[in-house]
Structure 1
Amino acid sequence: MSLKENIEALKEELNSEEKFFESAVRTERFVKRYQKPLIGSVVTLLLASGGAIAYSAYTNAKIESSNVAFNTLLSNPKDTVALKTLKNDNPELYDVWSLSQGIARNDVTLLDSLKNSKAFGVSDIASYESAAINEDKAGLESYTKTQGALYKDLALVELAVMAIHQGNISQAHEQIALIPEDSPMYQVGRSLSHYGVK
């Protein structure tokens, strides 16, 4: 290697070191300038992660607690501590439990209190069961007009039976005719129409 080549290699090496130091200085200036926002971002990220972990643990503890309370109620329905725990930790599961108790005891007051429940299906079933237990014709008719009613076809059969008991055969036929063919209650309606309504 000649002296000129050595000098050129040395210059290139110095230029690369100079660029490295220049970028280090820029990075240091950037960090000094934005030190507080960077620290704030890191702290926020840590707090958010910690909060998410804590919330997940809290939610899991409530689910576990409500499951234990529900299982306790299944074996001992009069356990007031388990009932209170279930009501506080999982109101929707509490509503399901209350619905099962209302149906088992034919407790119309309890069923009526569940008509505004947020738990899936509880309000719907409570409305049907309350009207069926009371043999409330207007309640059953109103229920059959509710969009997405779970027991609509069963309510139509109930209305037809009520009409038969009242001697109103044409109204019974009208109720039975409203049951769609793809319904599990269709065959019951046909049998009722054939044997009960002549």
Structure 2
Amino acid sequence: MSIKNNFNYIKNEISSDGQLLENTLKLEILYKKYKYIIWTILVVVIFGGISYQLYSYYNEKKIQKYSALYSELLQDTSNTSLQAELKTGNPKLYDLFTLQQALKDGNISKFMEIQDSKSAIISSISSYYIGSFERDISVLKNVNKYTLGDLSKLQQAYILINENKINDAKVILGEISKDSNISELASLLSHYMITKQ
């Protein structure tokens, strides 16, 4: 009985070893058939990973460089060489610097310089200030509705009230949502219109 068990055990082991050998041979045939594709994919994945790491490293160094340049420029705002370097290297950061200086000085020409900025927020802020300073409703209408839209409408209504265009001002104030943070100011301006009539 034990010889029979031993024989069955040996038979099962040989069978499993045979299956292992058979699977190994199939794998080897598959590798030989597709080895160029496998190596190409492996090389592409390794090259892609290295390229991504190098690109990330380069971007991080670039960000650090222009952040340091921006900080230095904030210390010495009249340094034109730093301004030129920042403008060519990182135009959006330069636009932010120009916006900061325009807000500080109230200089409308600086606002006009960045009105066509690639940054939607900076462009909207500069358009808002240009429209407000010049009391130009057409410029205020072009302010991005997601950044300063309601504030722009409030300013438009105020300009129209001063021009005695009360009905137009009511229409614009009606466009300001009740959920807006500026809705209370719009309500106060509506009450102010009553005194102007």
TM-score interval, normalised by the smaller of the two chains: 0.7 to 0.9
Task: Look up the match of 1:158.
Answer: 159
Q: Distance in 1 between matches of 2:68 and 2:99?
A: 19
Which TM-score applies when normalising by structure 1? 0.76
Q: Distance in 2 between matches of 1:57 and 1:8?
A: 62
Q: CA deviation at 1:44?
A: 1.0
Decide whether the 8 Å contact of 1:128 with 1:155 is kept in 2.
no
Question: What amino acid maps onto 1:92 in structure 2?
Answer: K
Decide whether the 8 Å contact of 1:99 with 1:114 is kept in 2.
yes
Which TM-score applies when normalising by structure 2? 0.76
After superposition, where does 1:90-129 map in structure 2 within 5 Å?
90-129=90-129
Decide whether the 8 Å contact of 1:128 with 1:140 is kept in 2.
no
Question: What amino acid maps onto 2:93 in structure 1?
Answer: L
Q: Distance in 1 between matches of 2:44 and 2:140?
A: 51
Matched length: 186
Matched, 1:34 2:27: no
Q: Distance in 2 between matches of 1:158 and 1:60?
A: 46
After superposition, where does 1:33-182 map in structure 2 within 5 Å?
33-135=33-135, 139-144=136-141, 148=145, 150=148, 151-152=151-152, 153-161=154-162, 163=163, 169=164, 171=165, 173-174=166-167, 176-177=169-170, 178-179=172-173, 180=176
Q: CA deviation at 1:45?
A: 0.9
Question: What amino acid maps onto 1:140 in structure 2?
Answer: I
Q: Distance in 2 between matches of 1:157 and 1:83?
A: 37
Decide whether the 8 Å contact of 1:72 with 1:79 is kept in 2.
no
Q: Distance in 1 between matches of 2:185 and 2:169?
A: 9
Question: What amino acid maps onto 2:185 in structure 1?
Answer: M
Unaligned runs of at least 5 residues, structure 1: 164-168
Decide whether the 8 Å contact of 2:102 with 2:111 is kept in 1.
yes
Equivalent position SS for 1:115: coil
Q: Distance in 1 between matches of 2:89 and 2:63?
A: 7
Unaligned runs of at least 5 residues, structure 2: none
Q: CA deviation at 1:53?
A: 1.3
Q: CA deviation at 1:86?
A: 2.7
Q: Distance in 1 between matches of 2:167 and 2:44?
A: 66
Question: What do the CA deviations read for 1:112-145 (whole angstroms, capped 9, x no partner)?
Answer: 232222213222222222233334xxx3245236
Q: CA deviation at 1:39?
A: 1.2
Q: Distance in 2 between matches of 1:90 and 1:147?
A: 23
Task: Look up the match of 1:185.
Answer: 185
